[in-house]
Amino acid sequence: MTILDVARKNGVRIPTLCHESALEPYGACRICVVEVEGARAPVASCCVPAAQGMAVRTETPRIQRARRAIIELLLSDHPEDCLSCEKAGACSLQEYAYEFGARKSRYPSAEKHNYAALDDNPFYVRDYNKCILCGRCVRTCAEVQGDCVIDFAHRGYDTAVSTPINRGLIESQCVLCGNCVQSCPVGALTEKKSIRMGRSWEMEKVRTTCPYCGVGCQQWLHVKDGKIVKVTGVKNAEPNRGRLCVKGRFGYDFIYSEERLKTPLIREGDAFREATWDEALDLTADKIKEIIKKHGPDAVAGVSCARSINEDSYNMQKLFRSVFKTNNIDHCARV
Ligand code: SF4
Ligand code: SF4
Ligand code: SF4
C-alpha cells in the first residue's frame, strides 16, 4: 500500500488531483505531498509505499504552503471561468483553490493557452484551456477502457492531450464511452447534453441499473426538476466499477421519446390497436397453445431480449423448456 492508501483506509484526508483509485499511481500533480520523517523533501504520497514504523505528517504548514503553491501554479494558466463553468461545484481545482486560499496566483503567466474548444463528436466537448494535465483521461482510456485513443502530445508548455495526429475523435479509435469525461477532475471535458441544464448542487442523484443490456451496470442518474441531465457510473460498485459504455452513458433520451410504446399493441389487419396487458398476454397464450396443439411443441420458439435481466432470460427458457416442452430458445446477443 502507498502512504495515500494507508491514510485513506484510516480516515486521514489527503487531497489529490491526478490520483484515481482505479488507475495506477502517477504522481503528476504533487498536491498529495506529505512529510516523511528522515526524508529530505516532501514526497508524493500516492506513489511512495508505506513502510513499518514510517512517521508521516500530512498537514504541516510546509505541506500546506506546498499545496497552495501547486494550486497557484495551475491557476497561472487557467481561465478565470468558474462563474459559467459547467464543472463549478464539482471541480477539484476549484475546491482546493478555496481550501488553500489560492485566490490569486502569485505566478501570473505572460502567456495563456488559447485553444479552440473541440466539438468533434456527438457526446462531449473538450476544452483543453481548462486541462491541468493530470493524465486521468489518458490513463482511464488506456488502463480502464483499454483503448489507448488519447495521449500527451508535444513537450513543455505546449504539452496537451491529443488523439493520434490530433485528428477528431470520430476519426480515431474512440468508442465514445465517456469514461475519460467522468474521470476528469476539472471542466476540460463536458457532456454536451448537460450543458446549461443545471448546476451540480441542484441535481438529485438517483441510483439505478442501466436498461440497455444484461450486464446490469450501476448508474447514477443526475436529475433536475424530474429530468435526467447526466448519467455517470457508480464507482466501487459491481459489475462496472464506475465504467459505462456509450449507450449507458449517453443514450438516455429514449425515455422522453414521444414514439415510445406505453401500452401493448394488437395487430388487426394492417393496423395496431392499443390493448391492456391482460388482453395481450391472454391472446399470446391462446395463440401459442393453438400452435402447439396443431403442430407440436417444436413449432414455437422464443428469443429473449438482451435488455432483459439474467433472471428474466432464465425464466423465459424455463417457460419454453418446462411448460411448452421445447428447447427452441435463444438469446438475441448469442451470435
Ligand atoms: S475547471 Fe474548475 S477551476 Fe476551472 S473554471 Fe471550471 S470550475 Fe473553475
Ligand atoms: S471516450 Fe472512451 S475511448 Fe474515447 S478517449 Fe474517452 S475513454 Fe477513450
Ligand atoms: S482533460 Fe481532464 S482528465 Fe485529461 S489531463 Fe486534462 S484535466 Fe486531466
CATH number at residue 39: 3.10.20.740
Same-domain check for residues 168 and 118: yes
Whether residue 61 contacts residue 93, with contact meaning beta carbons closer than 8 Å, is answered with: no
Nearest atom, ligand 2, residue 144 CA: 7
Which CATH number goes with the domain that contains 144?
3.30.70.20
Atom 2 (ligand 2) nearest CA? 177
Whether residue 140 contacts residue 180, with contact meaning beta carbons closer than 8 Å, is answered with: yes
Q: Which position has the higher pLDDT, 108 or 24?
A: 24
Same-domain check for residues 57 and 117: no
pTM for this predicted structure = 0.89
According to the model, what pLDDT value does residue 310 have?
82
According to the model, what pLDDT value does residue 109 have?
77
Nearest atom, ligand 3, residue 18 CA: 8
Same-domain check for residues 251 and 273: no
Q: Is the CB of 91 under 6 A from ligand 1?
A: yes
Find the 32 Cα to ligand 3 centroid distance in Å. Answer: 17
Whole-angstrom distance, CA of residue 5 vs CA of residue 1:
6
Same-domain check for residues 11 and 93: yes
The verdict on residue 108 lying in a domain is: no
According to the model, what pLDDT value does residue 305 have?
87
Q: The C-alpha cell of 81 is what?
A: 471561468
Atom 7 (ligand 1) nearest CA? 88
Percent of the chain with pLDDT over 90: 90
Q: What is the rounded average pLDDT of the residues 123-133?
A: 97
Whether residue 205 contacts residue 188, with contact meaning beta carbons closer than 8 Å, is answered with: no
pLDDT tens by residue, 112-122: 899 999 999 99
Q: For residue 174, which amino acid is it?
A: C
Give yes or no for residue 241 having a pLDDT over 90: yes
pLDDT tens by residue, 132-177: 999 999 999 999 999 999 999 999 999 999 999 999 999 999 999 9
Find the 141 Cα to ligand 2 centroid distance in Å. Answer: 5
The verdict on residue 225 lying in a domain is: yes
Q: For residue 96, which amino acid is it?
A: Y
Q: What is the rounded average pLDDT of the residues 276-299?
A: 97
Last residue within a domain, chosen from 76, 99, 122: 99
Same-domain check for residues 248 and 278: no
Whether residue 92 contacts residue 17, with contact meaning beta carbons closer than 8 Å, is answered with: yes
Confidence at 335, pLDDT banded by 50, 70, 90: low
Same-domain check for residues 88 and 22: yes
pLDDT tens by residue, 74-111: 999 999 899 999 999 999 999 999 999 998 778 887 78
The verdict on residue 287 lying in a domain is: yes
Q: Is the CB of 139 under 6 A from ligand 1?
A: no
Structural domain of 246: 197-260
Q: Is the CB of 78 under 6 A from ligand 1?
A: yes
Q: Is the CB of 81 under 6 A from ligand 1?
A: yes
The verdict on residue 22 lying in a domain is: yes
Nearest atom, ligand 3, residue 161 CA: 5
Considering the chain, what is the average pLDDT of its residues? 95
Using CA of residue 213, residue 214, residue 215, residue 218, what is the dihedral sign? positive
Domains held by the chain: number: 4
Last residue within a domain, chosen from 99, 123, 156: 99
According to the model, what pLDDT value does residue 110 have?
75
The verdict on residue 278 lying in a domain is: yes
pLDDT tens by residue, 181-221: 999 999 999 999 999 999 999 999 999 999 888 788 999 99
According to the model, what pLDDT value does residue 108 have?
81
Give yes or no for residue 324 having a pLDDT over 70: yes
Q: Which residue has the cell 488553500?
A: 100
According to the model, what pLDDT value does residue 43 have?
97
Whether residue 48 contacts residue 1, with contact meaning beta carbons closer than 8 Å, is answered with: no
* Helices 61-75 and 92-99, axial angle in degrees (round to 10): 130
Q: Which position has the higher pLDDT, 104 or 282?
A: 282
Last residue within a domain, chosen from 208, 243, 260: 260
Q: What is the rounded average pLDDT of the residues 261-288?
A: 96
Tell me which H or E stretch contains 69.
helix 61-75
According to the model, what pLDDT value does residue 17 have?
98
Same-domain check for residues 18 and 74: yes
Same-domain check for residues 8 and 42: yes
The helix, strand and coil proportions of the chain, stated in percent and rounded to the nearest 5, come to 30, 15, 50
Same-domain check for residues 11 and 26: yes
Q: What angle do CA 57, 60, 64 make, to 5 degrees?
A: 120
Q: For residue 120, which amino acid is it?
A: D
